[in-house]
Amino acid sequence: MSKTSAKTVAIVQARLGSTRLPMKSLLCLRDVPLIDWVTRRLSRAAKLDGIMLAVPDTEQDVVLLDHARRHGLPCTAGPEEDVLARMLLAAKAADAAFVVRVCADNPLIWGEAVDRLLEHYAGVVCDYAYNHIPRGNLWPDGLGAEVLSRDLLEDVASKAAFPSQREHCLNYIWDNAEQFRISTFDPIESWLQRPDIKLDIDSPEDFRKLALLPLHPDMDAREIVRVFSRT
């Protein structure tokens, strides 16, 4: 299957039951819910064919499903703890041949970073590529994403046995890195080579930090780096 001709869909995993920051996806940053920051900024990725929200099938997360549907965002519900199964359900519902995994913890995700990831993935021989974390690269933490084929996602789902590999849905690849062709790359701009910058939201302190900064949902990466460089 060609990496450039088949349907590529971003699957955003989100939930309201976070223990460290409950209701995180619907917390408002500059009057905009965090999940809307993610999908709004992700929608600017030109190489995506669609976006699908994957949420838990819990009573609490019905609120998040309703929010997504009111905003016209395709969504599916699956197991809360088995995130791998939930991601695969969403990928099948979206009829995705290639899956871009996005975490709703990343409100400052940059559509251009996702496009560059997909360009890289299409241009090299690899099973899995990423630029969402500074692991073997110089990207800030929280601008990019991960990509793999749905075939590989299905294979991983059939083999991942440990709870950590089901909850952190691509851990199986990292736990068995010798079996896979894993690839990453650096941003070409020197100003963007900032692995010291953390843009994701995992805790109340992370949210507080972002809430006090002059951010807006439409700012580009240069503006984001400039703001964080002043903190």
Q: What is the mean pLDDT of residues 2-17?
A: 87
Q: Tell me what the pLDDT averaged over the chain comes to.
A: 95
d(CA 25, CA 104): 7
Domain ranges, ordered by start, for the chain: 8-229
What value does the mean pLDDT take over residues 68-93?
A: 96
Phi, psi of 177 (to 5 degrees): -60, -30
Average pLDDT over residues 74-92: 96
Q: Which fold has domain 8-229?
A: Spore Coat Polysaccharide Biosynthesis Protein SpsA; Chain A (3.90.550)
pLDDT tens digits along 126-136: 999 999 999 99
* pLDDT for the residue 231: 72
Q: What does the pLDDT look like over 85-104, one tens digit per residue?
A: 999 999 999 999 999 999 99
Residue 196 has pLDDT above 90, yes or no: yes
Q: Pairing mode, if any, of strands 146-149 and 128-130? A: antiparallel
Across residues 52-57, what is the average pLDDT?
A: 97
Nearest to 100 by CA among 16, 23, 6, 176: 6
Q: Give the end-to-end CA distance of the chain in Å, rounded to a whole number.
A: 45
The yes-or-no verdict on residue 105 having pLDDT over 70 is yes
pLDDT of residue 230: 84
The pLDDT assigned to 1 comes to 59
The label of the residue with tokens 């599916």 reads 76
Q: Using the predicted structure, report yes or no on whether residue 11 has a pLDDT greater than 70.
A: yes
